[in-house]
Structure 1
Amino acid sequence: MRTIRLDSVSLPPALRKRVSARTLVGLGVVWLTVFFIVPVLYLLVESLNFGDGALFAYYETALSGVYGETLVRTFLYAFLTTAICLVLGYLSAYYIAFKSKRAILLLSLVLLPLWIAIIIRFFGVRLFFISSGPVQQVFGTDFGFLFSRNGVILGLVCALLPFAVLPIYNSLRSIDDELINASHTLGASQLQTLRTVILPLSYPGVIAATLFVFILAAGSYLAPSFLGSSENLMMANRIADAQGYSVPLASAMSVVFTGGLLILVGLFNHFANVSEVLGDL
């Protein structure tokens, strides 16, 4: 088991005399209230129809027609992206943690895309498949990735894969080597050790990766904009478009989307016990 011990950090004496712990907590509460709680409450008020007609008229619109289809599509894309990232992320993290002799170099390559603006990464994927790009120049086709569902998911996977690799890698490296050695000593094969020892003990990293990737994928705006068509728009795109002509409708769509996301995360927490699992990271 690899542990890192950090010395306790306290405020400088001069600052500690002027600033108390209550002051610091108060500043955090004020910031959270002004820039999070108040905007959310205002969003809820804006989403309700206090004029003529039903109070929840905007919610009915947000849940029907093209908006309802977009909501389902958004979560479907997020599910697919998460599943692909978990498979690729686990394979990559496993190789880096147990097989590679250049783990630092490979981790640097995993982190490298995070240093580049996400809009540039999506634009790079798009350039890769356009008519003048290398794929069509070599194969004469974009294989259905450009301006399609496949392109949106590919872009999301490319952008979010590091968020799957890093927590899984951290979880794998925290496994005690003696447990793995004991499994081999008792006659377990590499596959049996993976199934009965490594996979269960890496569960916290998998849970964290699932949450990170799913939430970030569901809220993506740029991936559909750069790699999809009008038939592949996600909720972030619909909300951005709606606020240009109807702020109440955009507010209702935001509430519906956030509520749906919280429900899915809550169901996931019911089966995975997220708080307990993440506490082990």
Structure 2
Amino acid sequence: MQSLIIIILLLLPSLIFASESAYVFVIDENYNPVQGYKLLETQRDDIYISKIEPIKKWITTLRSQLIVVQDGYIYPVRDSIIVDKKKGIALLLIDFSQRKPLYFNPEEFLIDRDINVLIANKKVTYLKVKTLFPSEIKKEAKKGKISDYTALAEQYEKTGQWNMALSVYEDILKQKQESNIINKIGVLYYRLGNFKKAREYFQMLSKDEKTIARLVGICIIEKDFEEALKLINNSGLNSAYMHYLKGIIYYLIGNKDRAYIEVFMLIPLNNELAQNLRDLLR
């Protein structure tokens, strides 16, 4: 199982911690988790509602830092704002540009899951978020203004507001069917961990190497290795990366002999990938 997780991380982002919930962890100077706390999401993808306790723990733990964990990724907390000191409620702002794959299993560490005070004050806190961080008003998609609407979606995407970006891209798609928009929607669903929807959109695209690799990546995450091999074999592609993916799949299902055949086929195509696959099989 550990090998499978490592390989999936190398191929495409995955959901190690399969949960829609978000948590903030205090980690020490060696990046080891000290304690976790459950969070509430807000109307913005980069802001979370938290109790004050993790901030206190961070302050009192020497050379520590705060990270938010969600959907198999970690995000460093770039700022914290106490919005109600009496009730112990704060906002945590994360840095999307520093996103990294999750490197530990949160369930193995102590997590404070009591968020009753956050739920009880959710509406008031949402209003404070809206006041402190007014979002750009979503423009109406009109004929002849698709480019402006696309720019808005791209801005949401760049700032990590993936749900907002997804909503805008889907509205654009209703106005105009374009492969690049379909691709963006598929990628966003993938990032959000909705592999079923991501697959639906990727299957609308031409079956080039990038699309096949993404569909194969989803199959690997879902452990549907038979379907992954079928996708590669039916694609008609004979590229180095396809042989590399086949080698990994054969390794995952315990067929090292077939995996080594892919190594030999890789050597004249891409020696670096061949070496990587060989190292994995040793």
TM-score by length of 1: 0.21
Q: Which has the higher helix share?
A: 1
TM-score by length of 2: 0.21
Q: Which has the higher strand share?
A: 2
Of structures 1 and 2, the one scoring higher in RCO (CA 8 A, sep 6+) is: 1
